[in-house]
C-alpha cells in the first residue's frame, strides 16, 4: 500500500522593479523554498500570490497597481510588498482586498502574511533538513551571473528622487559579509558579479569604513577595498550605480590590471549616472555640477584604462531647462563620447521636491528633446561599436540559440546593454556561462557580431 505525500503549499510570485527589488524577491523566494513552499508559474496553480512592487516613477506605480489588479482578478489571494508598499493608502484605494502590504526588504512581514494565508506544511522529515548549505539561496538570474547588494538607502537628496524617503539613509553591509556571499556565489558557479546599491561609491560612509577580516586579511568597508577583495575571486566584477564622487578615480587603476588568472581585477565598466551637463540644472537637481571636471575625469579614466566602457543616464526636460541648457547637454555628449546612455523625459514623481520648481517644460518639447538626445547618442554608440570591428573581445556566453551563441563583452551589462552574437557558437562547442574570445566582424547601433576564436 502506498500513501502519496500531501502536496506542498503553492505560491505564485510577481517580481517588478529594479535589480535591488530583484534581490529582495530572491531573498523572499529563498525563505519560501526553505519553508517547503513550492513556487508556481501560473495564477491557477497558486494558493496565494506575492507581488513585489516598484514605486519609483509614475509609470512604475501604474504597472505595479495593474499587476496587483491582475493577480486579484486571476487568483484572489494577494500579498503586496516592495517600494510601492510604502504608499499603502494608494494600494488600498485601488485594491481594498489585498491581504497584506509591506515595504521594501520587509521579509518578515511578507513571510508572516504568507503563513497566515497559507500555513507551511509540517513535514517531520523535511523540517530536519537544514537550508541549502551553499548559502546561495534562490536566484532569479541565470546561474552564471548574480547581483550582489552591498547597501540599502541613500544619503543624497536628489530633487527628482523619492528613494531616500522610501528606503531611508545609507546602511552598508559589512565588507566581510559581502565578500563571503560573493565567495559562495563564485564557488556555486557564478562567473560575473553585478555590484548594486543606491549609491555604490558611498559604500561604508555610514560605518566609518569599518575594517573587517576576510581570508585572514583586513579590508575596509569601502568601495576600493571591496573591489580589491572581489578581485581575489578571479571572476568578472561589474560596478553599478556609482555616484560621481572624486574618489571614484581611485578604482580606475584596478580596471587596467589583471589578476592571477588573467581576468581584469575589476571590469573596465562604470555605470555612473551624470543626469545632466548644465551646472544650473544640476544644481536644481541637487547633483554635483562641475561639468568641466567631469569631462577631464572621463579623459583621465580613459588614459588609465583605455578600454573602459562608460554607461550613464540623463534626464531631459527637467523643470526650468532652457533651450541653451539642453544644447549644453548635447555638446557634453559630443565631447564625452560615452559608450552607453539611457535617457528619460522628466516625469514628476509624487512627493519629489522637483515638483515645486517653476517653469515646467511642456510635454511635447520634452519628447522632442528626448528624441534629439537619443538620436545624437545613437550615432556616437554606433561609431564606438564600429570601432571594435576587427578586434578580439573576451565575452561571457549567456545563451545558445541554434548555431548562434548569445554573449556579452566586458562592456555589456545584462539586460541594459548590448549583446555579442557569435555566429559559430554551436560548432565551437560553446556552453552557457563560458568565457570565450570573439573576433568582432560586424556591428549595428547596439550589438556586435563575430566568431569564436578560442575557448577556455
Ligand atoms: S543618489 Fe540616486 S537614490 Fe540617492 S537620491 Fe539621488 S537619484 Fe535617488
Question: From ligand 1's centre to the CA of 412, what distance in Å?
Answer: 23
228-268: per-residue pLDDT in tens?
999 999 999 999 999 888 889 999 999 999 987 888 999 99
Q: Is the pLDDT of residue 145 over 60?
A: yes
Give the angle 228-20-400 at the CA atoms, nearest 5°: 80
Is any ligand 1 atom within 6 A of the Cβ of residue 194? no
Q: Find the mean pLDDT for residues 130-151.
A: 69
The Cα 440–Cα 278 span in angstroms is 37
pLDDT of residue 125: 37
Nearest CA to ligand 1 atom 2: 198
The pick from 199, 245, 312 for probing ligand 1's pocket by mutation, whose C-beta has the most ligand atoms within 8 angstroms, reads 199
The Cα 373–Cα 112 span in angstroms is 47
Nearest ligand 1 atom to the CA of 155 is: 4
32-49: per-residue pLDDT in tens?
876 778 888 889 999 999
Q: Find the mean pLDDT for residues 336-346.
A: 94
Q: Is the pLDDT of residue 456 over 80?
A: no
Residue 166 DSSP class: H
Residue 3 DSSP class: -
239 SS3 class: strand
Q: Is the pLDDT of residue 134 over 50?
A: no
Confidence of residue 137 (pLDDT cuts 50, 70, 90): low
43-72: per-residue pLDDT in tens?
999 999 999 998 877 888 899 999 999 999
pLDDT of residue 121: 63
Q: Is the pLDDT of residue 442 over 80?
A: yes
Q: In what order do the strands lie in the sheet with 192-196?
A: 145-149, 192-196, 236-239, 269-271, 309-316, 340-345
- Residue 51 CB contacts under 8 Å (≥ 6 apart), including other chains: 14, 16, 64, 67, 68, 71, 78, 79, 80, 81, 82
Nearest CA to ligand 1 atom 8: 161
Least confident of 87-96, 203-212, 309-318: 87-96
Nearest ligand 1 atom to the CA of 241 is: 2
Question: In what helix (H) or strand (E) does residue 399 lie, and over which residues does it extend?
Answer: strand 392-401
Q: Is the pLDDT of residue 130 over 50?
A: no
The pick from 56, 160, 161 for probing ligand 1's pocket by mutation, whose C-beta has the most ligand atoms within 8 angstroms, reads 161
Average model confidence (pLDDT) for the chain?
89
The Cα 41–Cα 433 span in angstroms is 25
Check residues 324 and 107 and name the one with the higher pLDDT: 324
Nearest ligand 1 atom to the CA of 287 is: 6
Task: Give the annotated binding-site residues.
Answer: 18, 54, 83, 154, 158, 161
Q: Is the pLDDT of residue 4 over 60?
A: no
Question: From ligand 1's centre to the CA of 110, what distance in Å?
Answer: 26
151-210: per-residue pLDDT in tens?
999 999 999 988 888 888 999 999 999 999 999 999 989 999 999 999 999 999 999 999
382-434: per-residue pLDDT in tens?
999 999 999 999 999 999 988 999 999 999 999 889 999 999 998 999 999 99
Residue 7 DSSP class: P
pLDDT of residue 142: 75
The closest alpha carbon to 317, from 294, 347, 350, 290, belongs to 347
For residue 223, report the phi and psi dihedrals to the nearest 5 degrees: -55, -45
Is any ligand 1 atom within 6 A of the Cβ of residue 156? yes
| Under 8 Å between Cβ of 21 and 83 | yes
Residue 69 grid coordinates:
489588479
Is any ligand 1 atom within 6 A of the Cβ of residue 198? yes
Amino acid at each position: 500500500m502506498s500513501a502519496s505525500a500531501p502536496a506542498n503549499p503553492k505560491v505564485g510570485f510577481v517580481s517588478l522593479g529594479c535589480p535591488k527589488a530583484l534581490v529582495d524577491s530572491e531573498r523572499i523566494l529563498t525563505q519560501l523554498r526553505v519553508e517547503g513552499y513550492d513556487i508556481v508559474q501560473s495564477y491557477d496553480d497558486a494558493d496565494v500570490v506575492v507581488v513585489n512592487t516598484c514605486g519609483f516613477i509614475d509609470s512604475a506605480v501604474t504597472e505595479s497597481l495593474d499587476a496587483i489588479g491582475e493577480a486579484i482578478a486571476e487568483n484572489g489571494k494577494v500579498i503586496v510588498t516592495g517600494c510601492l508598499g510604502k504608499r499603502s493608502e494608494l494600494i488600498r484605494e485601488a485594491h481594498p482586498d489585498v491581504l497584506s502590504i509591506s515595504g521594501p526588504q520587509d521579509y518578515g512581514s511578507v513571510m508572516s502574511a504568507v503563513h497566515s494565508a497559507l500555513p507551511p506544511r509540517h513535514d517531520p522529515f523535511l523540517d530536519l533538513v537544514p537550508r541549502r548549505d551553499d548559502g546561495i539561496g534562490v536566484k532569479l538570474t541565470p546561474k552564471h551571473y548574480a547581483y550582489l547588494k552591498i547597501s540599502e538607502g541613500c544619503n543624497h537628496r536628489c530633487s527628482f528622487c523619492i528613494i531616500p524617503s522610501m528606503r531611508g539613509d545609507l546602511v552598508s553591509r559589512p565588507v566581510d559579509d559581502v565578500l563571503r556571499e560573493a565567495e559562495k556565489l563564485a564557488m556555486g558557479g557564478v562567473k560575473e558579479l553585478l555590484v548594486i546599491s543606491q549609491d555604490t561609491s558611498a559604500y561604508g560612509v555610514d560605518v566609518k569604513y569599518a575594517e573587517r577580516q576576510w581570508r585572514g586579511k583586513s579590508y575596509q568597508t569601502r568601495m576600493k577595498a571591496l573591489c580589491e577583495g572581489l578581485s581575489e575571486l578571479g571572476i568578472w566584477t561589474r560596478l553599478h550605480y556609482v555616484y560621481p564622487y572624486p574618489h571614484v578615480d581611485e578604482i580606475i587603476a584596478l580596471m587596467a590590471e589583471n589578476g592571477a588568472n588573467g581576468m581584469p581585477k575589476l571590469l573596465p565598466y562604470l555605470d555612473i549616472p551624470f543626469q545632466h551637463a548644465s551646472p544650473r540644472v544640476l544644481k536644481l537637481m541637487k547633483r554635483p555640477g562641475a561639468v568641466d571636471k567631469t569631462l577631464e575625469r572621463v579623459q583621465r579614466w580613459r588614459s588609465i584604462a583605455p578600454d573602459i566602457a562608460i554607461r550613464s543616464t540623463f534626464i531631459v526636460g527637467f523643470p526650468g531647462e532652457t533651450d541653451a541648457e539642453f544644447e549644453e547637454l548635447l555638446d557634453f555628449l559630443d565631447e564625452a563620447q560615452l559608450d552607453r546612455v539611457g535617457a528619460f523625459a522628466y516625469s514628476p514623481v509624487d512627493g519629489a521636491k522637483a515638483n515645486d520648481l517653476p517653469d515646467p517644460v511642456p510635454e511635447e518639447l520634452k519628447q522632442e528633446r528626448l528624441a534629439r538626445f537619443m538620436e545624437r547618442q545613437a550615432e556616437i554608440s554606433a561609431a564606438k561599436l564600429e570601432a571594435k570591428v576587427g578586434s578580439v573581445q573576451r565575452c561571457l556566453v549567456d545563451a545558445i540559440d541554434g548555431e548562434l551563441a548569445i554573449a556579452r563583452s566586458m562592456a555589456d551589462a545584462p539586460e541594459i546593454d548590448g549583446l555579442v552574437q557569435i555566429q559559430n557558437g554551436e560548432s565551437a562547442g560553446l556552453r552557457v556561462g563560458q568565457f570565450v574570445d570573439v573576433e568582432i566582424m560586424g556591428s549595428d547601433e547596439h550589438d556586435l557580431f563575430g566568431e569564436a576564436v578560442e575557448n577556455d
